[in-house]
């Protein structure tokens, strides 16, 4: 009788054996598996707030670390589910710091460009308050303006993608979730366009980017407020006053944007520029408030699912798995033994 082959036991690169549920399937396959894989990118550590997505049951888009850790009973008087003080202090790190850092980065960027423009006298404050775009239209601050806004746009796009996956794990509908994501990505794209196409060089492209950054950007937060109002079951991290504060900031943005358009068309450019500066700071603050929503997220996981041509799913969420080669047929004498 032919003896069954010993199962292949995988081991972690850092030591220790991979848990049985992540071991490769040693059963014979009828169709070769070419390149089925799931890649995992782990960035941060904190406590999870999201549940695994049904299309990717092995990993969650925002989940805990996959490194197997043996449960250790607390020895300092804590209960089994209570976090250590150091872990509790780390809740507001990494992912939660990303929106706060973006708000600080963006505010520092535009005020730095304003200070340089005033210092080298490319703008004259005696004639009125200049627009943000006018401050970044002349060298050398135009180069700094472009670089800082491009980096801010990249961080904003990454925050919008994280927010999309968070809403998806909370059970938000695909259509409305994609609408929120699209408005956020258009806001990031418009910010990059404002920095790269200066007002004095490409006015139409610059105005298009300003519309996407300011008007579509504030729609991005209105859509999230509407979602939280329609879906009462959505988690509401943070203090109870976070929601009313967001409503107040979004309302101020709407009023100031309408006022800015009216003042600009009536040739009151200095007053319109003041409205633009205030709207920009309010949008930065709204992005920074997303740190409250990200405070309970631990990590970001990228799950790549194989196409329909592949017959089997990978056994391990962190490695490339292929089917083991078929065993060679033994001669009749060896089978008899």
pLDDT in tens, the chain (337 residues): 555 555 556 555 445 565 555 555 544 444 443 333 333 333 333 344 444 445 444 333 444 333 333 444 444 454 444 444 334 334 455 788 899 999 999 999 999 999 999 999 888 888 889 999 999 888 888 999 999 999 999 999 999 999 998 898 888 889 999 999 999 999 999 999 999 998 888 889 999 999 999 999 999 999 999 998 888 888 888 888 998 999 999 999 999 999 999 999 988 889 999 999 999 999 999 999 999 988 877 766 667 777 676 555 554 444 434 345 555 565 555 455 4
Q: What is the DSSP letter of 77?
A: S
Residue 54, Cβ neighbours under 10 Å: how many?
A: 7
Burial of residue 214 (CB within 10 Å: 0-12, 13-18, 19+) is: buried
Kindly state the helix (H) or strand (E) to which residue 298 belongs, with its residue range: none
Query: What residues have CB less than 8 Å from 165, skipping those under 6 apart?
Result: 50, 61, 62, 300
Rounded CA gap, 207 and 228, in Å?
31
Per-residue model confidence (pLDDT) at position 303: 72
How many CA atoms does the CB half-sphere of 53 hold within 13 Å?
22
Instruction: Write the pLDDT tens digit of every residue in 221-236.
Output: 999 999 988 888 888 8
Q: Are 8 and 24 in contact (CB under 8 A)?
A: yes
Per-residue model confidence (pLDDT) at position 1: 53
Q: Are 312 and 54 in contact (CB under 8 A)?
A: no
Report the SS3 class of residue 16. Answer: coil
Per-residue model confidence (pLDDT) at position 286: 95
Rounded CA gap, 95 and 43, in Å?
9
Per-residue model confidence (pLDDT) at position 299: 67
Report the SS3 class of residue 37. Answer: strand
Per-residue model confidence (pLDDT) at position 170: 87
Query: What residues have CB less than 8 Å from 188, skipping those under 6 apart?
Result: 153, 154, 156, 157, 160
Q: Are 302 and 99 in contact (CB under 8 A)?
A: no
Per-residue model confidence (pLDDT) at position 64: 37
Instruction: Write the pLDDT tens digit of every residue in 91-131.
Output: 455 788 899 999 999 999 999 999 999 999 888 888 889 99
Q: Are 305 and 56 in contact (CB under 8 A)?
A: yes
């Amino acid at each position: 009788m032919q003896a069954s082959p010993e199962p292949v036991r995988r081991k972690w690169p850092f030591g220790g054996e991979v848990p049985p549920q992540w071991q490769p399937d040693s059963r014979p396959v009828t169709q070769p598996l070419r390149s089925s894989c799931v890649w995992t990118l782990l960035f941060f550590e904190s406590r999870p707030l999201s549940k695994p997505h049904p299309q990717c049951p092995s990993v969650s888009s925002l989940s805990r670390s996959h490194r197997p850790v043996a449960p250790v009973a607390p020895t300092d008087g804590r209960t089994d589910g209570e976090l250590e003080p150091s872990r509790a202090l780390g809740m507001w790190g990494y992912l939660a710091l990303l929106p706060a850092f973006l708000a600080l980065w963006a505010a520092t960027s535009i005020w730095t460009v304003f200070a340089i423009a005033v210092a080298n006298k490319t703008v004259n404050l005696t004639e009125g308050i200049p627009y943000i775009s006018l401050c970044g239209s002349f060298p050398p601050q135009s180069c700094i303006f472009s670089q800082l806004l491009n980096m801010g746009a990249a961080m904003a796009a990454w925050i919008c993608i994280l927010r999309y996956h968070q809403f998806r794990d909370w059970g938000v509908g695909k259509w409305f979730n994609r609408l929120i994501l699209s408005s956020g990505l258009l806001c990031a794209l418009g910010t990059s366009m404002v920095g790269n196409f200066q007002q004095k060089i490409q006015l139409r492209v610059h105005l298009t980017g300003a519309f996407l950054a300011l008007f579509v950007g504030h729609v991005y937060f209105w859509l999230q407020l509407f979602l939280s109002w329609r879906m009462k079951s959505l988690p509401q991290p943070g203090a109870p006053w976070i929601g009313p504060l967001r409503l107040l900031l979004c309302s101020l943005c709407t009023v100031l944007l309408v006022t800015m358009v009216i003042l600009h068309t009536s040739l009151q450019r200095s007053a319109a520029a003041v409205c633009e500066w205030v709207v920009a700071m309010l949008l930065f603050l709204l992005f920074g408030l997303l740190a409250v929503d990200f405070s309970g997220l631990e990590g970001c996981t990228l799950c790549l699912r194989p196409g329909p041509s592949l017959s089997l799913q990978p056994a391990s969420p962190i490695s490339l798995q292929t089917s083991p080669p078929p065993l060679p047929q033994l001669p009749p004498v060896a089978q008899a033994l």
